[in-house]
């Protein structure tokens, strides 16, 4: 694959290699491993710098379970019940409605800051409102410290919000709470939780997946 990729970058066409095409019957999700739990106080929000210390991969027949396995591989246990804190930037508020509804259907309770809570409640979702950092006590950081939150979905926008979100992220690391910083990550997490609640985890070796590919390749 590396040889073919190099030749394509040099100007050759993929079609020239007459590659055999096969639709795979599995999905593979690769996940980076970060050492945040070893460095309390470090902000988990990622930038252009390299912070990962390794990689893991989850494989299954569908994306949800493959993603769930990838999280287990990082020693991150996705919750299957409890309370989810949601606070997202304005451009994510419409998209997070679907995520919140799915979480409620899965048996979770939703906790949100005022702006996000207003959008969710306007769409028929029951929400417990919590103060932002600086709006009074108890606030969301107090909830995290008192272990009243099991999953965090927070997409910071910048400025003061960015600073306030950093306090949430740092406390989440200390309490080993799953923290999601993008809407796409939130959707993937919900799909994974849904699969874990509905189906037991099945384990197959990488060699079994490879043999399945070889058996079904066109001649």
Give dist(CA 46, CA 114) in Å, integer: 26
SS3 of residue 63 by DSSP: helix
Q: What is the pTM of this model?
A: 0.80
- Domain count within the chain: 1
Instruction: Out of 8-12, 90-94, 156-160, pick the least confident.
Output: 156-160
φ and ψ at residue 35, rounded to 5 degrees: -90, 30
Q: Is residue 18 in a domain?
A: no
203 domain-assigned: no
140: in domain:
yes
Domain CATH code at residue 102: 3.40.50.1380
Asked, for residue 212, whether it belongs to a domain, the answer is no
Centre a 10 Å sphere on the Cβ of residue 29 and count the other Cβ atoms it contains.
Answer: 21
* Residue at 121 is within a domain: yes
Considering the domain boundaries, does residue 175 fall inside one?
yes
Max avg pLDDT among 27-41, 95-109, 196-210: 95-109
Which pLDDT does position 191 carry in this prediction? 96
Distance in angstroms (rounded) separating the CA atoms of residues 187 and 172: 19
pLDDT at 23: 78
Q: By the 8 A CB rule, do 167 and 133 touch?
A: yes
CA distance 127 to 138: 16
87-145 pLDDT, tens digit per residue, is: 999 999 999 999 999 999 999 999 999 999 999 999 999 999 999 887 888 899 999 99
- Is 68 within a domain? yes
pLDDT at 71 over 90: yes
In sequence order, which residues have a C-beta less than 8 Å from that of residue 203 and are 6 or more positions away? Answer: none
Q: What is the pLDDT of residue 213?
A: 82
Segments forming the whole domain that contains residue 189: 27-198
Q: How many whole angstroms separate alpha carbon 93 and alpha carbon 42?
A: 27
Phi/psi at 206 (5° precision): -65, -30
- The pair of three-digit structure tokens given for residue 196, joined into one six-digit string: 């874990």
pLDDT at residue 20, as a whole number:
74
């Amino acid at each position: 694959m590396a040889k073919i990729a190099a030749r394509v970058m040099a100007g050759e066409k993929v079609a020239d290699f007459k590659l055999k095409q096969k639709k795979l019957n599995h999905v593979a999700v690769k996940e980076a491993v970060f050492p945040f739990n070893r460095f309390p106080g470090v902000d988990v929000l990622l930038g252009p710098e390299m912070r990962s210390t390794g990689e893991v991969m989850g494989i299954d027949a569908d994306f949800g379970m493959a993603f769930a396995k990838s999280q287990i591989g990082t020693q991150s246990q996705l919750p299957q019940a409890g309370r989810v804190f949601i606070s997202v930037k304005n451009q994510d508020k419409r998209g997070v409605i679907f995520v919140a509804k799915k979480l409620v259907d899965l048996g979770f309770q939703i906790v949100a800051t005022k702006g996000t809570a207003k959008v969710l409640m306007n769409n028929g979702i029951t929400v417990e409102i919590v103060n932002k950092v600086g709006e009074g006590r108890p606030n969301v950081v107090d909830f995290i410290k008192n272990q009243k939150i099991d999953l965090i979905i927070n997409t910071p926008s910048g400025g003061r919000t960015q600073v306030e979100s950093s306090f949430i992220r740092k406390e989440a690391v200390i309490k080993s709470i799953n923290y999601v910083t993008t809407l796409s990550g939130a959707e993937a997490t919900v799909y994974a939780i849904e699969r874990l609640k509905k189906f037991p985890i099945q384990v197959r070796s990488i060699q079994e997946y490879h043999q399945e590919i070889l058996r079904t390749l066109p001649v």
